[in-house]
Chain A
Amino acid sequence: MLGLTSLVDVVFILLFFFMLAARGAPPQALSLTVSDAASPAPPAAVADRPQGLLRVLGGGRIELDGRLLETSALVPTLRAASRDQVQVRVAPAAQLQDLIDALEPLRAAGIGVDLLAPTA
């Protein structure tokens, strides 16, 4: 006769195992620091060189100094202009994912980000 109780026992133990394993993965996080919009003056070290102004428009669109760009073209464009610091402003339509997608390549390329607070 089939031991159904033992089978259920093992199935539950497996279920427990996978529930706990899924829960055990540590969450991941990014840290962002927002500059105050009231004091947009760049640090003295970069004051002699104009910073780019990156606007995150939403829907995957970004604008560097008023020019629409593909996200993939952002870092090469900044590198070509010898910029290692960029100010970032967020348009009201932009979602958090749009902002993160725009910031990640900058961080990976070692380009400094000055994240400006949204103006009310």
Chain B
Amino acid sequence: MKLPAAAAPRSGLDLLPLLNVVLLLLGFFLLLARIDRGAPEVGLPTAESAQAVRTPASLSLRIDAAGGLFVGERSLGDGFDDAAFSAFQAAAATAGPVELHADAAAPATRVLMLLQTLQRVGVRDLRILTQPSE
């Protein structure tokens, strides 16, 4: 009976760990890209009495420290133009929550005017995102 020859000892660079690290790097950059895209570029206000949010929002708005209003990356300018109203009404039609990423330093009057506008078009579930105080 002829036994199979023993495998020759492996020599040189082992490719498996290298592949492992390359895949981890790929995953790392994919995750980083997702986090960058989704993160609000505002310093949220701090609040003690805020509730944790569990359900996703149907529309996400952003107000920066200067009072600029954004839907995603698109600026809506100083006023609430037709495009903004269309977006608001679409959100109201879905009856889903609208969340507002407003900077802590944003003018409070600007935030209230936006909330009032959203209420007028029928948005009932409005959230102002906050962060817990240190």
Interfacial residues, chain A to chain B (CB-CB below 8 A): 3, 5-6, 8-9, 12-13, 15-16, 19-20, 23, 26-34, 36, 56, 58, 90-92, 94-100, 104, 107-108, 115, 117-118
B98 CB to closest chain A CB (Å) equals: 10
Binary A-proximity of B115-134 (CB < 8 A = 1, otherwise 0): 11001000001111111100
Number of interface residues of B (CB under 8 A): 44
| List of B residues within 8 angstroms of A8 by Cβ | 21
Are B49 and A104 touching (Cβ within 8 A)?
yes
Count contacts between A and B, CB distance < 8 Å: 125
Bound-complex Cα distance A20 to B32 (A) = 10
A6 CB to closest chain B CB (Å) equals: 7
18 contacts between A and B (CB under 8 A): A9-B24, A19-B32, A20-B31, A27-B129, A28-B50, A28-B132, A29-B51, A29-B53, A29-B128, A29-B129, A30-B49, A30-B51, A34-B116, A56-B108, A96-B106, A100-B47, A104-B48, A108-B48
Bound-complex Cα distance A27 to B53 (A) = 6
Interfacial residues, chain B to chain A (CB-CB below 8 A): 17-18, 20-21, 24-25, 27-28, 31-32, 35, 45-54, 99, 102-109, 111-113, 115-116, 119, 125-132
Are A97 and B46 touching (Cβ within 8 A)?
yes
A19-B35, A27-B53, A117-B112 known; A32+B128 contact, CB < 8 A:
yes
Q: Which of A19, A23, A26, A90 contacts B112 (CB 8 A)?
A: A90
Bound-complex Cα distance A97 to B131 (A) = 11
Chain B residue, CB-CB nearest to A116: B112
